[in-house]
Amino acid sequence: MNENEIKNALVQIGNDLRLAERLMFSGKADEAMHIITKTGELIEQVKAAEPQNAQIKSNETKYLKLKGDIEKRLQKPLTAGGAPAPIAVAAAAKPQQLPYDARKPMQDMQNCLRIADRNLQELINAPVDQKESLMKRIDENIKGAKDYLASAENESARKGVSTHPDFDEGAKKIAEIEARCATAKSGALSDINAASDKSAQVDADIAALKAEYERLRDIFDLASIPHYNDLEPMNKILSAIEGFEKNEKTNLKKRLDEFSSKYGSMRDEIDNNAKSGGYSGNDRPSYPFEALTDGLKKIVEVRKLAAEDVVKRLNEMMQRLPEMHDFAREGMYDTLKEWIGMASQFDSGNSAVLSAKETMDRAIAEDRKKLEAKIDAKEWPGNSKGGEADAALSFFRNDKGWGARPKGNGPEDQPRVPLGVSVHGSWSVQATDILGKPIQYGLPAFVAVQLEREQPLKRTRVYDVTLRTKEGPNAESKPPFESITVGNSFYIRPDKIK
């Protein structure tokens, strides 16, 4: 026996002595006798391997005392090996003694079988991840027992002893433990395969959830408030949210519910359940569940956040309304309505949105009322007649920025059709050369123009302009006009232009 085998044997002897003592005191002296028999054999093996071992001497003392107690209770003595003494009815033939060199291998065989037996008992309830190593140790010890038996038989044959009852008993014990091993290994392999299947399922469940997160990640990333000056980014967010809610939300919640029913819904709970189920990945098992749950929460929360952020920008625009030029007010009214509409699409029942809409409607109504009164109060000084007025009207009708402006989709992309011109001052020098000689002249005038989209509102624009001649050394203070500069502007009622 090597050092490790001796150590294991001493532990086994101590356990057996305690067990035999408990059985004896429980009235099970027969069972105690069976245990103590094997204990005596193991004590002899350790003594043969290490005669001076202090612990084996102590165990032997306990063994002898316990043996005596058991004999008294059974009222029959045990043999020196621990077995009950047979009743002598006739002289029995003694088996030939094992040669000395065969005894050590036989002791080693017994120790291997004892260890294999213990490992078999451990295998039944061992965790799945320990079963393979236990089966390996069992196989190694069974093989060791066979090798030691073969060695003992060889040593015995060399001494002229070819057969012996101990060899037959050893072979029988090896066969018995091999049969038990086959049954135990079958169950262990079944457990290992079941655990492997479970592990594969756990890995598949987590991988599927991770793939789902990667598929929806771009949508979740959109569910936040960007920097924006117009509604295009917010339209993009709204479109993504609506698409998610229509096509993804129900299925995602179902998948998360199914996952949580198997693994739980809290980080530690998911991680522990996944790992106990054989999860083999390197990432935290709960990561995709948490990421999807957070993404779903962001989608829900961003509606409220986006609606209130749009309302905040809307309120800032309404504060600037009194400062705006009259020509931009109708466009601003439309813009405000567009923004409150966007806020309502995000969260129609939001109290901030409902309050902002009431405030906006009231502000637009009040601002429009003031604007209409202001327009009504404006007066036209009268249309001018003559060559200068005709030349001015001709300029405005044909200029590509005024009467000949191309019609487009924007609110300002419309021709400005001139209705009248009113000259309100004298000619003036607009530019001179380096010697101070005039090279361009200008004539101040009001021009009234009509935009098609403002016609239903009964509004005409009036611009205070300076009509300018062509610039050159021969400039004169008379038409034709080549350019203008623009000063103030305002609305007036079209029926006042005459």
Categorize the per-residue pLDDT at 148 as very low, low, confident or very high, splitting at 50, 70 and 90: very high
Q: What is the mean pLDDT of residues 483-497?
A: 97
332: its two tokens:
């601003």
Mean pLDDT of 43-50: 84
Asked if residue 372 has pLDDT above 80, the reply is yes
Which residues have a Cβ under 8 Å from the Cβ of 194 and sit 6 or more positions away? none
Mean pLDDT of 283-304: 93
How does residue 89 score in pLDDT terms, banded at 50, 70 and 90?
very low
Q: What is the model's pLDDT at position 446?
A: 98
For residue 474, what is the DSSP state?
T
The residues with which 418 forms a beta bridge, in sequence order, are 449
CA angle 244, 250, 254 (to 5 degrees): 130
**What is the pTM assigned to this prediction?**
0.58
**And the tokens for 368?**
């429009």
Q: Which of 310, 295, 303 is nearest to 221 (CA)?
A: 295
Please indicate whether residue 391 or residue 281 has the higher confidence score (pLDDT): 391
Would you state the pLDDT for residue 83? Answer: 46
Residue at token pair 């066969």: 175
User: What mean pLDDT comes out for the span 285-307?
Assistant: 93
> Which of 19-33, 73-87, 132-146, 393-407 bottoms out in mean pLDDT, i.e. has the lowest?
73-87
Q: How far is Cα 21 from Cα 191, in angstroms, rounded to an integer?
A: 36
- pLDDT for residue 465 is more than 60: yes
Among the listed residues 120, 265, 263, the one whose alpha carbon sits nearest the alpha carbon of residue 184: 120
According to the model, what pLDDT value does residue 20 have?
Answer: 81
Task: Check pLDDT > 70 for residue 88.
Answer: no
For residue 367, pLDDT over 60 is answered with yes
Cα–Cα dist 58/54, whole Å: 6
Residue 90 pLDDT exceeds 60: no
Q: What is the mean pLDDT of residues 104-132?
A: 86
pLDDT, average across residues 16-31? 79
% of the chain exceeding 70 in pLDDT: 94
Q: Is the pLDDT of residue 132 over 90?
A: no
Highest mean pLDDT among 156-165, 218-227, 304-313, 407-416: 304-313
Residue 11 buriedness (CB in 10 A; 0-12 / 13-18 / 19+): exposed
At 76, the pLDDT band (50, 70, 90 cuts) reads low
Instruction: Identify the pLDDT of residue 320.
Output: 92
Taking residue 319's Cβ as centre, other Cβ atoms within 10 Å add up to 10
Question: What's the CA gap between 74 and 77, in Å, rounded?
Answer: 8
What is the helix (H) or strand (E) element at residue 269, kind and residue range?
helix 267-276
Could you count the other beta carbons within 10 Å of the beta carbon of residue 103? 18
8-state DSSP, 85: P
Least confident of 155-169, 327-341, 452-466: 155-169
Residue 86: the pLDDT is: 46
Query: Residue 158 has what pLDDT?
Result: 86
Q: What mean pLDDT is predicted for residues 177-194?
A: 76
Mean pLDDT value across the chain: 88
CA distances from 116 to 127, 145, 176, 271 (A): 18, 9, 12, 36
Picking from 467, 423, 464, the residue whose alpha carbon sits closest to that of residue 441 is: 467
Report how far apart, in Å, the C-alpha atoms of 288 and of each of 204, 208, 212, 213, 241 are.
12, 9, 8, 6, 20
Cβ proximity of 56 and 10 under 8 Å = yes
What are the tens digits of pLDDT across the range 235-260?
999 999 999 999 999 999 999 999 99
Confidence tier at 43 by pLDDT (50, 70, 90): confident
